[in-house]
Amino acid sequence: MSSSLMICIYRRDGKRASVVFRRGKVLYRITTVEFAPAVVGAFREYEDALKRNEAGADFVFEILCPRKRHRVVEIGLSGKKAHLHVFEMAGEELKLCFKWGGSREVLREAVMQFTLMAFMSKY
């Protein structure tokens, strides 16, 4: 598994956005995210916790999408290692769509770049 990670956000009409997770050459895109400011806010809070070294072992939040298709982002920390998983909710079941594992520093850098990109997009 590639240790590189990139998380990007692209503004759309209204309070919508597209979010892209990238690990090496593997790309996973969520085309339409409803209430994108809430997603940006969750990442900003997590970035602040990472900066202060107060981030818990697990961080989970839901991304709302149209047509009752929701995604769940799970970030876990264990010592100097970190992982990020994106699941798609299908009714009561979760299907793994994107998986990344690497160092805590790479995760911190990816989250920082995401929040910077969100700021540039005026979220």
Torsion sign over Cα 111, 115, 118, 120: negative
Residue-wise pLDDT for 46-71, tens only, equals 999 988 888 888 899 999 998 888 99
Tell me how many domains the chain contains.
1
22: in domain: yes
Residue-wise pLDDT for 9-54, tens only, equals 999 998 899 999 999 999 999 999 999 999 999 999 999 998 888 8
Give the structural domain span for 89. 6-120
User: Does the pLDDT value for residue 99 go beyond 60?
Assistant: yes
Q: For residue 60, give the amino acid letter.
A: V
What integer is the mean pLDDT of 97-111?
A: 95
39: in domain: yes
70: in domain: yes
1: in domain: no
Whole-structure pTM value: 0.89
The residue with greater pLDDT, 24 or 3, is 24
43: in domain: yes
Of 60, 61, 63, 48, give the one whose Cα is nearest residue 15: 63
